[in-house]
Chain A
């Protein structure tokens, strides 16, 4: 159960292997890896700003809520910050539970939250200069799915 914000690259396969190791009561591990997109040449570099101490605390708070809601045994979130090149992994989420549905849903829920409400500020640097990126309408409606009673 940890959140890591890091400036250097990470290897998603290694994270998943380590997360899955030594589990005898976990029936399901789900994971998601997000990669930075080139946007057809529109983005040379993504720059992600966080507020260390607030960003990680806020993500951990949501992850604890998700663990409670979905009955997770364990979870792991690793997020890149700083400058990220297209094709590099930007986010990794893994969830562990006794049965598959909870692991899948919690992973989906955490990604919807991370994409829309996590305290990051994201800038795209491309041939036409730099621009700040806001959550898309799709990101907003995705996260709202979990709020309907």
Chain B
């Protein structure tokens, strides 16, 4: 279980910003999110970064019931 946050255009594509999603790993969370094909495609897109508990991670990560997973599209700068 993880609290998933979407930023930037990813939230526009999904139609939501924050949602609790089942899964004990990033792979399982991605699988749960893939019910929305447009979102799954966007999440797999170039330059999308993932943070777990506000730390950017690459590859797989284990999650706990209180994990916060953020999907971040390429950053715009300020």
- Is A120 a contact partner of B77 (Cβ separation < 8 A)? yes
Q: Which residues of B contact A79 (CB under 8 A)?
A: 78
B9 to chain A, nearest CB (A): 5
Q: Which residues of B contact A135 (CB under 8 A)?
A: 75-77
The yes or no answer to B8 lying at the interface (CB within 8 A) is yes
Q: Which residues of B contact A57 (CB under 8 A)?
A: 54
A118 to chain B, nearest CB (A): 5
A residues 109-140 near B (Cβ < 8 Å) are 114-123, 132-135, 139
User: If A121-B7, A121-B8 touch, does A51 touch B54 (CB 8 Å cutoff)?
Assistant: yes
Q: How large is the interface on B (under 10, 10 to 19, 20 to 34, 35 or more residues)?
A: 10 to 19
- Is B54 a contact partner of A90 (Cβ separation < 8 A)? no
User: If A51-B54, A53-B54 touch, does A90 touch B77 (CB 8 Å cutoff)?
Assistant: no
A88 to chain B, nearest CB (A): 13
| Per-position binary interface string of chain A over residues 82-123, scored 1 when its CB falls under 8 Å from any chain B CB and 0 otherwise | 000000001100000000000000000000001111111111
The interface centre, meaning the residue of A53, A54, A120 with most chain B CB atoms within 10 A of its CB, is: A54
Q: Which residues of A contact B77 (CB under 8 A)?
A: 114-118, 120, 122, 135, 139
The yes or no answer to A49 lying at the interface (CB within 8 A) is yes
Q: Which residues of B contact A34 (CB under 8 A)?
A: 78
| Per-position binary interface string of chain B over residues 32-75, scored 1 when its CB falls under 8 Å from any chain A CB and 0 otherwise | 00000000000000000001001110000000000000101111
Q: Which residues of A contact B8 (CB under 8 A)?
A: 49, 121, 123, 132
Q: How large is the interface on A (under 10, 10 to 19, 20 to 34, 35 or more residues)?
A: 20 to 34
B8 to chain A, nearest CB (A): 3
The yes or no answer to A72 lying at the interface (CB within 8 A) is no
The yes or no answer to B24 lying at the interface (CB within 8 A) is no
B74 to chain A, nearest CB (A): 7
Q: Which residues of B contact A67 (CB under 8 A)?
A: none
Bound together, the chains give a CA A49 to CA B72 distance in angstroms of 11
Q: Which residues of B contact A29 (CB under 8 A)?
A: none
Contact of A121 among B55, B56, B73 (CB under 8 A): B73
Q: Which residues of A contact B73 (CB under 8 A)?
A: 121
